Structure 1
């Protein structure tokens, strides 16, 4: 992993750990303990953000899939996965979702998180759920053209940074020359229009909105890197998983069933997104590139594929290449 990427992730995990220690000072039971016998369903709280990628879990709740597996789900809106980690560690959340690089760093820092399922899987097409866009007059037509440019991403040290860097490496370009700019997704298109960014990574439906505003897609950073590989994961604390393996198993089964429905019924996914996001329904109707939601049990091999991409692109030290076994719950 390059030094900048390492510093960003290390600071993020250290801050999360410090916050969680304060939050947990009065309790050692992170995430609660659902192992006691109960006549009714088990209450869990799942973090979501109001974007299309969370449609599957909303479908699962609305279709009664979680309830059928004995779970009473409360969906808690958050701003981002990494920001929710302290809340998870304090016990106020049962499950949240983070990207693979964040979990790698949390595992290295021994924060106590384990992956229990795949939220999203990389899409192996040139026009997917995510994409890098640029103005036509910027002369950015492929990954190599990003050298020396200002590129907007939702978070430094995140999956977009890793995958764009790996995509550039794949065509012989040098990602260390990129000026990464952290910017919230809703602010990205105005920043592109103002010339504050040369290019930016966007997810649907903002990707479609950017193209309608005249920007052109450079490529899908998942295509050359993690097509078919889990990119965002649902996690809980290791302590909670050890105390409540049956709840975790029910959550995993519900997730996979929900993802299968979402992947097979894009119209339902769009209609669900209209209710679960703040996006203009008219924009959602124009979206063609949808996420690939997780619908199979998560494996160590899945995580290893992502790790190998990071190592090969110089985004992760080879000494950390065998960390996958520590990242996943195998209870």
Structure 2
């Protein structure tokens, strides 16, 4: 039996048992992505398209989102069962909204891909050069949420930077026009967008937070604690399907593109395959390839949460209030098939 068939059989059996003998109908769940339908979102859509979620007893609807804060708010309100959001944005949200927290149940980005990007003509080459400059980004973007941590690590006063609130579709255009000195965003969004607008890679500078001391994890699949506690088999089945989606994405970037282009027919194949290659540096790290999906170093994770809490001004949370790995499927089902 293949790993996929074993995973489906195991999760489906658990769901059938949880149905307590009643006629087994598919469980409807909805998912709020953190951003638009782009190639790196394929692990969510592939299991919808190839029937894996259905085989696991789930009827899954996946919707686009408007940033980590947007996804977190949708899940916290109960409008969505699952979301995709930055881990540290989750920690901050929970600190500010203790009465309606969310919890991460699968780490999707083993390495954060947040960046600040400038045109070389601006003369900005290091984080310190951003002092007195303007950065454009959507208010809820995780790169903007984490910027104070990035700044502090590099001796830059976060208050020395001015922010320009923009929609995501205008961010790169404003940089090209010279209306902002820099932009912040996900590597997988900013770089492909600049290249697709005719900007040469030789003409812009990308400062990846991870290259400047911010060795943080990235996004997670999130849900409400009460939803997970009431529906543990549903959560595990969903994460089982996600593991399948990641494996297909790793094995066949072309399949990932084909899944996403069904949701947005105007996506450019070459741009999306390039975008997915960038995303893979966060998805399929050496750690993930060796130990499987969602296998963070818990001590490092706790330290990183403490660092974020210090910068954002809230009490350092215990890992268990931000990330709970108890709903993950068996470790062998989380391995990336190489």
Same fold (TM over 0.5): yes
User: In the alignment, which residue of structure 2 is the partner of 1:284?
Assistant: 272
User: In the alignment, which residue of structure 2 is the partner of 1:62?
Assistant: 49
User: In the alignment, which residue of structure 1 is the partner of 2:257?
Assistant: 270
Structure 1 pair 168–78 and aligned structure 2 pair: CA distance change class (3 A): closer
In structure 2, stretches of 5+ residues that fail to align are: 1-16, 285-291, 328-338
Shift in Å at residue 87 of structure 1?
4.0
User: In the alignment, which residue of structure 1 is the partner of 2:322?
Assistant: 327
* Alignment of structure 1 residues 48-197 onto 2, 5 Å: 48=33, 49-108=36-95, 109-110=97-98, 111-122=100-111, 130-155=114-139, 158-197=141-180
User: In the alignment, which residue of structure 2 is the partner of 1:42?
Assistant: 27
Structure 1 pair 137–86 and aligned structure 2 pair: CA distance change class (3 A): closer
Whether 2:218 is the aligned partner of 1:231: answer: yes
Whether 2:213 is the aligned partner of 1:217: answer: no
In structure 1, stretches of 5+ residues that fail to align are: 1-33, 124-128
Cα distance in 2 for partners of 1:96, 1:258 equals 16
Q: Give runs of ≥4 in structure 1 deviating > 6 Å.
A: none
- The answer to which of 300-309 and 41-50 deviates more is 300-309
Contact 2:154–2:212 under 8 Å retained in 1: no
The superposition leaves residues 162-217 of structure 1 with CA deviations (integer Å, 9 ceiling, x where unpaired) of 54443443343333311122222210122113322101124335413314324402
**SS of residue matched to 2:211:** coil
RMSD: 3.0
The superposition leaves residues 249-279 of structure 1 with CA deviations (integer Å, 9 ceiling, x where unpaired) of 1122222332233234333333434333453
Match of 2:283 among 293, 301, 323: 293
User: In the alignment, which residue of structure 2 is the partner of 1:6?
Assistant: none
Shift in Å at residue 236 of structure 1?
1.4
The superposition leaves residues 89-115 of structure 1 with CA deviations (integer Å, 9 ceiling, x where unpaired) of 454421112222331133222213221
Shift in Å at residue 40 of structure 1?
2.9
Structure 1 pair 107–142 and aligned structure 2 pair: CA distance change class (3 A): same
Cα distance in 2 for partners of 1:63, 1:191 equals 39
Shift in Å at residue 298 of structure 1?
6.0
- The answer to which of 59-68 and 136-145 deviates more is 59-68
